[in-house]
Amino acid sequence: MPGYLIRSVILEGADALLRSHGQRPAVLARRAGLPPAALGDPDQRVPAAAVLRFFALASDAAGLPDFGLRLARNARLAALIGPLWVLLRNARNVRQLCDELVDNFDLYSDAALVGLTPLPGGRAALLSWSTTQGQELQELQMAEFSLAVLAAELRVRLGRDWQPQAVLFRHARPAGTLHLHRAVFGDDLRFNQDVNALLLDGDTLDTPLTPRSAAARALASRLVRIEEQRESPHAVAHNAEAVIRALMPYAPCTLAAVAEALGVAPRTLQLHLQREGTAFARLRDAVRADLAGKFLHDSRLGAAEIGEILGYADPTSFSRAFRRWNGNALRRMRRPGTKP
């Protein structure tokens, strides 16, 4: 289901959880911009931005800093992404499963991005999740929910005792105990990081899986390609944004680098983006603005650290860009208790 709508099955369990903590789920749904009926009907199409708002509102109202993790305990990737899961279940190994998810996630929704970024010097990689530009800044609960669902799917394939090598969160360490975080992800929890991601070692990625059959995989591939024909008019910009988000914390995010990752010439990428009504510099700027807002809202990284992640040579350049994006000085946008 391409676009910025997702199935309301992602809300399953929220009604009971909130009621058990003295809340009125329908009221919170309306405040978030969701139809209250979506809490009980898993097949409604609802705005992804409203779901992000609902997760954040629900966490605050119920006093549950681990709301996303609690909701993820009963969520299944198959129910969330529908037909795309048929393709994943026929992957030959974990690396191919991750690649298929990355390559086809936009068939589920354009409101988030999944990436698999190899780490230098080894076979390990980061399986990352992030909202796209234009969504809510408050992605903390959804980030933890999404990583927990991905970890649960891998645990089904790799055994109940499997844990990722580490888990990275862009947001600051939540208040209170991390008991549920450790139960879901293991002990290596890293906050205030560049990305939201599961760190998967090479042995995990190379673990063979048992696909149903070659015929089943071929059928699943055809089904996915049929869906892909109903391509978004902004498909190239969406793919370029995914690469920009993956590259930005680790390497110079130039037009040439992004074009190389997409397998096209820089001029070709420019022309495609122009046809879709944008340009590379504008797209990169929009991603920087989006990430800056998320880091400032959810992490405790200092402005200089955020500017460095976003590719600015000095804090002054970052501050100038931030004022251009938001019309306010950076120091006025910081959450209380964070570094200037």
Is residue 102 in a domain?
yes
Is residue 126 in a domain?
yes
Among 79-88, 121-130, 231-240, 319-328, name the one with the lowest average pLDDT. Answer: 231-240
Residue 229, pLDDT > 50, answer no
Q: Are residues 185 and 317 in the same domain?
A: no
> How far apart are the C-alpha atoms of 25 and 20, rounded to whole Å?
10
Is residue 88 in a domain?
yes
Structural domain of 174: 65-205
Is residue 29 in a domain?
no
Buried b (16+ CB within 10 A) or exposed e, 297-319: bbbbbbbebbbbbbbbeebeebb
Residue ranges of the alpha helices (H) in 82-213?
84-88, 94-104, 140-158, 179-185, 202-205
* Domain boundary, last residue among 205, 226, 253: 205
* Domain boundary, last residue among 162, 188, 205: 205
Residues 330-334 have a mean pLDDT of 65
* Domain boundary, last residue among 152, 183, 205: 205
Reported as a pLDDT band with limits 50, 70 and 90, residue 134 is confident
Q: Are residues 253 and 323 in the same domain?
A: yes
Residues 215-239 have a mean pLDDT of 57
- Compute the residue count for the chain: 340
Residue 147, pLDDT > 80, answer yes
Reported as a pLDDT band with limits 50, 70 and 90, residue 127 is very high
Q: Are residues 201 and 295 in the same domain?
A: no
Q: Are residues 153 and 267 in the same domain?
A: no
Q: Are residues 252 and 140 in the same domain?
A: no
Q: Name the percent of the chain lying above pLDDT 90.
A: 54
259 contacts: CB under 8 Å, gap ≥ 6: 265, 266, 268, 269
Q: Are residues 278 and 192 in the same domain?
A: no
237, 133 Cβ separation under 8 angstroms = no
Is residue 303 in a domain?
yes
Is residue 117 in a domain?
yes
CATH number at residue 328: 1.10.10.60
Q: Are residues 199 and 249 in the same domain?
A: no
Q: Are residues 86 and 168 in the same domain?
A: yes
Q: Which two tokens stand for residue 210?
A: 């048992």
Q: β-strand 112-118 against 45-47: which pairing, if any? A: unpaired
Residues 12-21 have a mean pLDDT of 97
89, 101 Cβ separation under 8 angstroms = no
How many domains would you assign to the chain? 2
Is residue 249 in a domain?
yes
Is residue 44 in a domain?
no
Reported as a pLDDT band with limits 50, 70 and 90, residue 250 is confident
Q: Name the percent of the chain lying above pLDDT 70.
A: 88
The pTM is what?
Answer: 0.80
pLDDT digits (tens, 9 = 90+) for 50-101: 999 999 999 999 999 999 999 999 898 988 887 678 778 788 899 999 999 9
Q: Which two tokens stand for residue 82?
A: 């529908």
Q: Are residues 248 and 143 in the same domain?
A: no
Q: Are residues 172 and 244 in the same domain?
A: no
Q: Are residues 197 and 243 in the same domain?
A: no
Q: Are residues 141 and 71 in the same domain?
A: yes
